[in-house]
Amino acid sequence: MVFFRVVSALSKLRSRLVQQPSLTSTVRWLQIETSSDLDLHSQLKELIPERQERLKKLKSEHGKVQLGNITVDMVLGGMRGMTGLLWEASLLDPDEGIRFRGMSIPECQKVLPAAKPDGEPLPEGLLWLLLTGKVPTKGQVDALSKELRSRAAVPDHVYKAIDALPVSAHPMTQFTTGVMALQVQSEFQKAYEKGISKSKYWEPTYEDSLSLIAQLPVVAAYVYRRIYKNGQVIPKDDSLDYGANFSNMLGFDSPEMHELMRLYITIHSDHEGGNVSAHTGHLVASALSDPYLSFAAALNGLAGPLHGLANQEVLLWIKSVVDECGENITTEQLKEYVWKTLNSGKVVPGFGHGVLRKTDPRYMCQREFALKHLPKDPLFQLVSKLYEVVPPILTELGKVKNPWPNVDAHSGVLLNYYGLTEARYFTVLFGVSRSIGICSQLIWDRALGLPLERPKSVTMEWLENHCKKSA
């Protein structure tokens, strides 16, 4: 009971954080002080009963409260703007951007443990935060990093499944194939077939999720080395953390690239539940599909040009600017090229967002990284010029709600600078990162007993008749 009262007090303090910024340091202190156990699984066993009661109370006392009205535009516009999902790990504000368990990206950069002083957050720390709502200590992050390394061995049949595909197959196709091949080890599937109690669903889901997160960099690196490095695989290094190990297995061992990979994985990990990959993972998992099947489905959504494939398109477009106009392009030349792209019926990739109405904070932290480490890089300087040129042009068009750059406008240029130049592979990096958010939520889906997702659909005739009656 004492623990629950502490958690309740913490929850109340955190809910006041937005209104009272002065409480920030107090809340962070409480988060750190109430998170002492090094074992993540034990932390969740303590947290889950309180959250289950909280959900039960919310449903019984406020289940009939309306959250808004559905319009025909929403139905025809891809359900855009409808509030219809519970997603605990993060919340996306149109103006402030993403918050991970209430914390902005700059706040996470300040309080999450890093590999070195003033370094980028360790992705393991964000995983702990998304699962528990608490800022972990360095000891907890190190323990989780060690556990992930212990789970990272990939069975030989996974490599054989990937090798059955042509080397020319898209990296995302090969990556998703590897994830599907991992599915045969699912602890959730085995437990379900034996008749596990619903109240225990979260435990084998936890086992699957942590193993999946641990194995993904190994599979992803294998795909990269198979396609681009003549199959010369680099084994994992048990002395390195999650992000640095992934970078090293890809073939990039510079400390700066390790830092970039830590930042990349952290900021791409989650973006609330309505984006295609997160929603797909949640939807498939609601049918009690195991984490491997659910995440493979999420990856297939991520591979679409309007979602994760956009980071590939940005770098290719930027390189097309350089090919036609040279690296020392003037502002006026750049304006002409942007108008040329728009007038041809295409979009300028990397600008705009379905929810955000200001510059993506994920773009800004990557910009800060570039200003610190590669301020004179020609492609970064071009990206900076685009930041000045594109928003006014899109505003002039009058059709764009958000003319500002998103996360994809910057990531490719950073990766390219450190030698990861193969744009077709970029979405695989995104996929590895997104596993942290999707799997964190999936564990809570099971713990809270969230039901099968089944929205109501209607025909165009139904909509027309309904509108006639309303008129």
Reduced 3-state DSSP string for the chain:
CHHHHHHHHHHHHHHCCCCCHHHHHHHHHHHHHCCCCCCHHHHHHHHHHHHHHHHHHHHHHHCCCCCCCCCHHHHHCCCCCCCCCCCCCEEEECCCEEEECCEEHHHHHHHCCECCCCCCECHHHHHHHHHHCCCCCHHHHHHHHHHHHHCCCCCHHHHHHHHCCCCCCCHHHHHHHHHHHHHHHCHHHHHHHHCCCHHHCHHHHHHHHHHHHHHHHHHHHHHHHHHHCCCCCCCCCCCCCHHHHHHHHHCCCCHHHHHHHHHHHHHCCCCCCCCHHHHHHHHHHCCCCCHHHHHHHHHHHHCCCCCCCHHHHHHHHHHHHHHHHCCCCCHHHHHHHHHHHHHCCCCCCCECCCCCCCCCHHHHHHHHHHHHHCCCCHHHHHHHHHHHHHHHHHHHHCCCCCCCECCHHHHHHHHHHCCCCCHHHHHHHHHHHHHHHHHHHHHHHHHHCCCCCCCCCCCHHHHHHHHHHHC
Categorize the per-residue pLDDT at 4 as very low, low, confident or very high, splitting at 50, 70 and 90: very low
Angle between helices 202-228 and 156-163 (to 10 degrees): 50
Q: Give me the pLDDT at residue 399, please.
A: 66
**Angle (CA) 180 185 190, round 5°:** 115
Cβ-contact 36, 46 below 8 angstroms: no
Amino acid at 232: Q
pLDDT class of 307 with cuts at 50, 70, 90 = confident
Lowest mean pLDDT among 48-52, 94-98, 214-218, 349-353: 349-353
Residue 37 banded pLDDT, cuts 50, 70, 90: confident
Q: What does pTM read for this prediction?
A: 0.88
pLDDT value of residue 93: 86
Q: pLDDT confidence of 231, banded at 50, 70, 90?
A: very high
Asked if the model's pLDDT at residue 352 lies above 80, the reply is no
| pLDDT score recorded for residue 17 | 40
Distance from the Cα of residue 145 to its chain's centroid:
19
* Residue 3 reports pLDDT greater than 50: no
The mean pLDDT value for 374-382 works out to: 93
pLDDT at 235: 97
Q: Which of 433, 158, 436, 190 is nearest to 290 (CA)?
A: 190
126 pLDDT above the threshold of 60: yes
Backbone angles phi, psi at 52, to 5 degrees: -65, -45
- pLDDT at residue 196 above 90? yes
pLDDT at 77 over 50: yes
CA 437 to chain centre: 6
Residue 98 is predicted with a pLDDT of: 93
pLDDT at 12: 43
Give the integer Cα–Cα distance in Å for 355 and 115: 33
**Rounded Cα–Cα distance for residues 339 and 30 (Å):** 52
pLDDT above 80 (res 86): yes
Name the band, by pLDDT with cuts 50, 70 and 90, for residue 453.
very high
**Using CA atoms in the order 420, 421, 425, 427, what is the torsion angle rounded to 10 degrees?**
80
Nearest to 434 by CA among 369, 327, 370, 362: 362
Question: 36: pLDDT confidence band, cut at 50, 70 and 90?
Answer: low
Domains, the chain, ordered by start: 145-308+424-448 (1.10.580.10), 310-418 (1.10.230.10)
Confidence of residue 18 (pLDDT cuts 50, 70, 90): very low
Catalytic residues: 307, 353, 408
Q: Who has greater pLDDT, 72 or 19?
A: 72
pLDDT in tens, 400-425: 777 888 888 899 999 999 999 999 99
Given a cut of 50, whether residue 47 has pLDDT beyond it is yes
Q: How confident is the model at residue 46 (pLDDT cuts 50, 70, 90)?
A: very high
pLDDT of residue 308: 77
The C-alpha angle 294, 297, 303, rounded to 5 degrees, equals 140
409: tokens are 């406008």
- Mean per-residue pLDDT over the chain, rounded: 89
Q: Tell me the per-residue pLDDT of 394-404, one tens digit each, with 9 for 90 and over.
A: 888 876 777 88
Largest CA distance in the chain: 68
Query: What average pLDDT does range 225-244 have in this prediction?
Result: 97
